[in-house]
């Protein structure tokens, strides 16, 4: 059983979680990274396909200075250009997408030209890979995994940033080769772990409305 105090601590961690997009050079300790990964390891997974391979979940740790980070920096730019090209084609037959293309175009072409701000040398990048199986639920599993890792990082006073562009690497041969995984068989998601440089956001920007039943 958890105590009232345990519950209050959980609330504090949930409130404190935020997206960090600017990191100092300070590299997190191996034990801290290990604890964050353990939180990801125990996150929910879509079990129907998980028995196909052992292990079905992998974590690759890349610390500042790892030459693979330079390669990933280039692959992110190239992949963003490909993603933009695909979105442009899709927009031709999707009026909603076409209407919103200017924003997407600005974002993705900026990443294609300049990369993502935390690169080329983030303090610590964790690439998570999840077996896709026939169920193809790896993206949801990866999101659950990252949320667990994010909360654990927060509890350890580490800062965390998601790198969702890494999701697009599923069929990128060069990216899969970096980690010795077969192309198209694993979904990917990644994060940066470290210590913030500059301001910490304190207020939560999320908007939501609760729709209670009328007799409540
Ligand atoms: C599916 C998903 C993808 C995201 N991708 C990125 C990303 O690639 N880069 C980034 O800096 N933040 C990314 N974020 C973080 C959101 O921008 C962030 O959670 C949101 O702005 C709310 O801010 P907060 O996390 O500080 O509460 C992503 C969040 C989600 C849920």
Please tell me the distance from the alpha carbon of residue 196 to that of residue 19, in angstroms, as a whole number: 10
Q: Return the pLDDT at 62.
A: 98
pLDDT tens-digit readout, 10-27: 999 999 999 999 999 999
Beta-bridge partner residues of 23: 196
pLDDT of residue 200: 84
What predicted TM-score, i.e. pTM, was given to this entire model? 0.96
Share of the chain above pLDDT 90, in %: 90
CB 27 within 8 A of CB 194: yes
Ligand 1 atom closest to the Cα of residue 206 is 22
Report d(CA 62, CA 94) in Å as an integer.
39
pLDDT of residue 198: 86
> How far apart are the CA of 19 and the centre of ligand 1, in A?
6
pLDDT band, residue 214 (cuts 50/70/90): very high
> Is ligand 1 within 6 A of the CB of residue 163?
yes
Domain contains 111: no
Number of domains in the chain: 1
List the domain range (segments joined by +) for residue 166.
Answer: 20-66+120-194
Residue 100 lies in a domain: no
- The residue to mutate among 142, 145, 162, having the most atoms of ligand 1 within 8 angstroms of its beta carbon, is 162
Flag whether 95 is in a domain: no
Residue 97 lies in a domain: no
Closest CA to 78 of 139, 167, 169: 169
Predicted local distance difference test score (pLDDT) of residue 203: 82
Residue 120 has pLDDT above 90, yes or no: no
The mean predicted confidence, pLDDT, of the chain is: 95
Q: Domain for residue 105, yes or no?
A: no
Q: Is residue 34 part of a domain?
A: yes
With 90 as the cut, is the pLDDT of residue 199 above it? no
98 within some domain: no
pLDDT at 110 over 90: yes
Residue 142 covered by a domain:
yes
The CATH number that applies at residue 49 is 3.40.109.10
DSSP string, 115-182: --TT-S--SEEEEEEEE-TTTT-HHHHHHHHHHHHHHHHHHTT-EEEEEGGGGGGGG-HHHHHHTT--
Find out whether the beta carbon of 205 lies less than 6 Å from any atom of ligand 1. Answer: yes
């Amino acid at each position: 059983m958890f105590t009232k105090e345990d519950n209050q601590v959980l609330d504090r961690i949930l409130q404190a979680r935020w997206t960090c997009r600017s990191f100092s050079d300070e590299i997190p300790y191996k034990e801290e990274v290990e604890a964050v990964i353990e939180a990801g390891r125990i996150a929910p997974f879509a079990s129907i396909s998980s028995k196909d391979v052992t292990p079905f979940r992998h974590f690759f740790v890349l610390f500042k200075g790892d030459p693979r980070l330079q390669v990933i920096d280039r692959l992110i730019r190239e992949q963003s250009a490909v993603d933009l090209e695909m979105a442009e084609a899709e927009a031709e037959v999707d009026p909603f997408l076409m209407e919103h293309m200017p924003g997407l175009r600005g974002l993705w072409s900026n990443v294609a030209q300049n990369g993502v701000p935390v690169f080329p040398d983030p303090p610590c990048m964790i690439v998570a890979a999840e077996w896709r199986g026939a169920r193809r639920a790896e993206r949801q599993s990866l999101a659950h995994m990252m949320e667990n890792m994010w909360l654990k990082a927060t509890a350890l006073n580490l800062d965390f940033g998601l790198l969702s562009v890494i999701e697009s690497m599923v069929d990128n041969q060069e990216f899969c080769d970096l980690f010795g995984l077969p192309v198209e068989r694993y979904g990917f998601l990644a994060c940066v772990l470290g210590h913030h440089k500059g301001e910490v956001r304190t207020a939560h920007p999320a908007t939501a409305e609760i729709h209670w039943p009328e007799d409540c």
